Amino acid sequence: MDGDRVEIDGGIMEGGGQILRVSTALGCLLGLPLRVRRIRAGRSQPGLRPQHLSGLEIIRDLCDGKLNGGEIGSTEITFTPGKIKGGTHIADTKTAGSVCLLMQVAMPCVLFAASPSELHLKGGTNAEMAPQIDYTVMVFKPVVEKFNFTFNCDIKRRGYYPQGGGEVVVQMSPVKELSPINLTERGTVTKIYGRAFVAGALPIKLAKDMSAAAVRCIRREIRDLYINIQPVREPDDQAVGTGSGIIIVAETSTGCLLAGSSLGKRGKNADKVGIEAAEMLLQNLKHGGTVDDSLQDQLIIFMALAKGVSRVKSGPITLHTQTAIHFAEQLTKAKFTVTKSEEDNPGNDTYIIECQGMGMINPNL
């Protein structure tokens, strides 16, 4: 069997956990045995962290696969997938490892399962270096559902750095195939809304300060829109530990959703958190793309699996996106092209990501 393993170099390009997520999800879907070497080679702590290991374990469990090298710090794994099955699956990072990244790896697989799935994902819901769960629900969900599937995401408890302890439950039914998407018209911004949150020992005043600072920052660029950023205190029975942060979403006339977000941490001024999120949103609006920088790479695996041609207009292509495209092309028959978008004013750094999808068919349905 080992002669037929697909070799994945986990140290090239973005060189992080994303290579592991994209390649193991596609390996699982396509029934490809993999060897991933040099895992997270470029990181300060190379090898598997608890979050990556949880992601590998949920994929293994989803398809009754075999995983070797699955321990913390390991820089090489082999994975031999079996048949994807539905049902209830639990993944627990036991840390503040991101539940959103666990969702990223599992979701493409359970779409092609034999029966409906329920994923219980435990860890951090609002963590650094990953989308916040609010982003997943407010931006990722409505956009990814354009591939013609739906899922339910129930936030049971929120968990923050360092202890985690959050839990979300994701329910979804399998599909026969995914439809391609066409997101090429940005339209004009019609509303801006969001939430600034505190949890645990932090006073609601911090949320109000984050919200007010963000609104002031956006107002300088966008004067004629009502900006509604709700300050909220997470109920104590629905949050573990202490955390704060903000997410701001802009919705456009064509239904595009783009966001900016930021997390608070000890010693970081609340105004700074709000301003960071506002500046990220404004940056994402400036380039004229239909998706923001965080969503760009998350759509690649779905474009690769869909049947037909998908087109997405984006800002500058992130290294995460380039990496996802590289491994999607290595493992599937999908073909991507990225071209500079000419129709926009020359000042805009806009691109069209086009993909001829492989047309994955669910063999179980």
Count of CB atoms within 10 A of residue 167's CB? Answer: 20
Confidence label for 2 from pLDDT (cuts 50, 70 and 90) = low
Element housing 208 (H / E): helix 204-219
**Contact present, 178 and 357 (Cβ < 8 Å):** yes
Per-residue model confidence as pLDDT tens digits over 214-247: 999 999 999 999 999 999 999 999 999 999 999 9
| Assigned superfamily of 6-174+317-334 | RNA 3'-terminal phosphate cyclase domain (3.65.10.20)
Say if residues 306 and 359 touch (Cβ distance below 8 Å): yes
Is the distance from CB of 70 to CB of 57 less than 8 angstroms?
yes
* Mean pLDDT across 187-207: 98
DSSP string, 218-248: HHTT--SS-EEEEEEE--GGGEES-EEEEEE
**Which residues, at least 6 apart from 65, have a Cβ–Cβ distance to it below 8 Å?**
28, 59, 79, 80, 81, 82
DSSP 317: P
- The two counts, helices (H) then strands (E), for the chain are 10, 17
Give the model confidence (pLDDT) of 67-114 as tens digits. Answer: 999 999 999 999 999 999 999 999 999 999 999 999 999 999 999 999
Residues classed as catalytic:
320
**What is the Cα–Cα distance from 5 to 32, expressed in whole angstroms?**
7
Write the CA distances from 348 to 197, 293, 295, 364, integer angstroms.
33, 15, 19, 45
* Exposure class string for 214-228: b at 16+ Cβ within 10 A, else e: bbebbeeeeeeeebe
Mean pLDDT of 272-279: 98
Locate 174 and state its tokens.
Answer: 């399998």
Does the pLDDT at position 275 exceed 70?
A: yes
Proportion of the chain above pLDDT 70, given as a percent = 98
Measure the CA–CA gap between 351 and 64, rounded to whole angstroms.
Answer: 40
Q: What single-letter DSSP state applies at residue 85?
A: -
pLDDT at 343: 76
User: Can you give the residue ranges of every domain in the chain?
Assistant: 6-174+317-334, 189-287
pLDDT at residue 4 in the model: 86
Give the span between the Cα atoms of 175 and 48, in whole angstroms: 31
User: In this model, does residue 1 exceed pLDDT 50?
Assistant: no
Question: Is the distance from CB of 233 to CB of 207 less than 8 angstroms?
Answer: yes
- CATH code for the part of the protein at 189-287: 3.30.360.20
At residue 348 the predicted structure's pLDDT band, cuts being 50, 70 and 90, is confident
Return d(Cα 77, Cα 86) in angstroms, integer: 24
Tell me the C-alpha distance between 55 and 25, whole Å. 10
The reported pLDDT for the residue numbered 258 is 98
Q: Is 171 known to sit in a ligand binding site?
A: no
Summarize pLDDT for 120-177 with one digit per residue, the tens. 999 999 999 999 999 999 999 999 999 999 999 999 999 999 999 999 999 999 999 9
